[in-house]
């Protein structure tokens, strides 16, 4: 008995194959189709025989048949895994994968087609695509979370640095208040005590002058500290503009400075007359800081010269003093706080904020301040305030 006698017949295998089987002529006329294929399309075999296979395709499938897989069948004799959309009897579109081979025999050319359903494969591809999309979303969320974490770390680092700077600033302020302000206030107390015990009118006069000078110095330092603190916390230095006579305002301030710095010669050269729109108190503060700087570092054997030049577009104020020049490497940072032109001891020095305050006030007026210094011509600070 043959070993394969128990197997289904060839016809039964053809009809019940787990894929659709179709045999066509070269022009696509269907000669045979199995039950599997017929059931998938919901049609009877008799309605398919004699029809062209391409008539079962959608419009896009027909175009793809003409331009792609039909020419391939002619040229290379086979196609593999061609995806096609076929029309079910009720109009539903069924997607299938096509494998086909070309057979030549004495009776002509035949195409043997095997079609496979893609429902499970499409479901798997959709699940795979969804999984990939979900993975990309998670990766994007992770990237955003890492970016947010990095930004938070940067902000935390910046806040920490800011806190450190504020701590250093507070320490500097404590040191300034405990050291620089203590000296003039101590002088005020000692002079007052001596004045109370003194009976000599001339001595009384000198002690009163000492009290006035030390008080003015303490007031200047306190004003600079308050302006510095305001600038450092981001509020800026405020100004109140009003129409004033430039030369008269400067001369009024110089009158007070000549009393405070009686040991120095201060002269004023005025060019041009007229009124300007600026803060007179802040103008006198700028002039006072520059003159005090000249007294501190200049050669007092020569006068300190202040020049005011009222031009059509700006007011130009310069303060010049003779003496040692400012080191060139110090010029770029000269207007920064806590910067001084030298390290020499001086009884009239401030706390290293005078030039910083001058720069801030100049910029608050929309102007600028600059400096030139050399051993031959001395040092000149220039304030330009646009009108």
Q: How far apart are CA 284 and CA 247, in angstroms?
A: 11
* pLDDT at site 340: 62
Q: Which of 1-5, 85-89, 258-262 has the highest mean pLDDT?
A: 85-89
Residue 173 confidence class, pLDDT cut points 50, 70, 90: low
The CATH label, of 1.20.80.30, 3.40.50.300, 3.30.450.20, 3.40.50.1820, for the domain at 10-122 is 3.30.450.20
On the question of pLDDT at 111 being above 90, the answer is yes
Q: Is 236-386 the same fold as 10-122? A: no
* pLDDT at site 1: 47
Residue 347 confidence class, pLDDT cut points 50, 70, 90: very low
Q: Which fold has domain 236-386?
A: Heat Shock Protein 90 (3.30.565)
- Position of tokens 């916390």? 233
Q: Give the mean model confidence (pLDDT) for residues 169-189.
A: 61
On the question of pLDDT at 182 being above 90, the answer is no
* pLDDT at site 345: 46
Mean pLDDT of the chain: 82
* pLDDT at site 23: 94
Question: Are the beta carbons of 132 and 154 closer than 8 angstroms?
Answer: no
* pLDDT at site 135: 86
Q: How far apart are CA 267 and CA 265, in angstroms?
A: 7
Tens digits of per-residue pLDDT, 360-379? 889 888 999 999 999 889 99
Domain ranges of the chain: 10-122, 236-386
Question: Are the beta carbons of 383 and 317 closer than 8 angstroms?
Answer: yes
The residues near 259 (Cβ < 8 Å, ≥ 6 apart) are 212
* pLDDT at site 61: 87
Residue 205 confidence class, pLDDT cut points 50, 70, 90: low
Question: Are the beta carbons of 49 and 30 closer than 8 angstroms?
Answer: yes
Structure tokens at 333: 């940072």
Q: Which of 169-178, 212-221, 263-272, 308-317 has the lowest mean pLDDT?
A: 169-178
* pLDDT at site 78: 92
Q: How far apart are CA 316 and CA 272, in angstroms?
A: 11
On the question of pLDDT at 3 being above 60, the answer is no
221 or 100, higher pLDDT: 100
Cβ of 216: how many Cβ atoms within 10 Å?
Answer: 17
Q: Which of 32-36, 51-55, 238-242, 335-339 has the lowest mean pLDDT?
A: 335-339
Q: How far apart are CA 358 and CA 174, in angstroms?
A: 23
On the question of pLDDT at 16 being above 70, the answer is yes
Task: Quickly list DSSP for 263-324.
Answer: TS-EEEEEE---EEEE-HHHHHHHHHHHHHHHHHHS-TTS-EEEEEEE-SSEEEEEEEE-SS
């Amino acid at each position: 008995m043959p070993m394969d006698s128990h197997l289904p017949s060839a016809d039964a295998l053809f009809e019940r194959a787990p894929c659709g089987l179709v045999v066509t002529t070269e022009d696509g006329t269907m000669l045979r189709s199995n039950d599997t294929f017929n059931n998938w399309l919901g049609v009877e075999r008799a309605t398919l025989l004699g029809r062209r296979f391409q008539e079962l395709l959608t419009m896009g499938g027909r175009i793809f048949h003409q331009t792609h897989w039909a020419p391939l069948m002619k040229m290379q004799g086979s196609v593999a895994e061609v995806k096609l959309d076929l029309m079910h009897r009720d109009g539903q579109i069924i997607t299938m994968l096509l494998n086909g081979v070309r057979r030549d025999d004495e009776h002509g050319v035949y195409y043997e087609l095997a079609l496979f359903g893609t429902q499970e494969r499409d479901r798997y591809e959709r699940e795979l695509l969804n999984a990939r999309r979900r993975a990309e979303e998670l990766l994007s969320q992770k990237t955003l979370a890492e970016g947010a974490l990095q930004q938070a770390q940067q902000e935390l680092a910046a806040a920490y640095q800011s806190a450190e700077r504020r701590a250093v600033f507070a320490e500097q302020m404590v040191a300034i208040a405990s050291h620089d302000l203590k000296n003039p206030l101590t002088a005020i107390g000692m002079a007052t005590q001596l004045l109370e015990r003194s009976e000599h009118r001339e001595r009384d006069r000198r002690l009163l002058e000492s009290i006035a000078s030390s008080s003015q110095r303490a007031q200047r330092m306190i004003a600079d500290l308050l302006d510095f603190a305001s600038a450092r916390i981001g509020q800026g230095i405020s100004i109140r503009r009003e129409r004033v006579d430039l030369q008269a305002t400067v001369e009024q301030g110089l009158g007070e400075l000549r009393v405070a710095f009686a040991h120095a010669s201060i002269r004023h050269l005025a060019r041009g007359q007229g009124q300007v729109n600026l803060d007179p108190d802040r103008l006198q503060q700028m002039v006072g800081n520059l003159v005090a700087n000249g007294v501190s570092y200049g050669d007092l054997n020569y006068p300190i010269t202040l020049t005011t030049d009222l031009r059509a577009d700006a007011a130009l104020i310069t303060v010049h003093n003779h003496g040692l020049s400012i080191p060139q490497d110090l010029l770029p940072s000269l207007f920064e706080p806590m910067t001084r032109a030298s390290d020499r001891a001086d009884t009239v020095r401030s706390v290293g904020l005078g030039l910083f305050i001058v720069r801030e006030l100049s910029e608050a007026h929309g102007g600028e301040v600059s400096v030139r210094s050399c051993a031959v011509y001395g040092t000149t600070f220039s304030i330009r305030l646009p009108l």
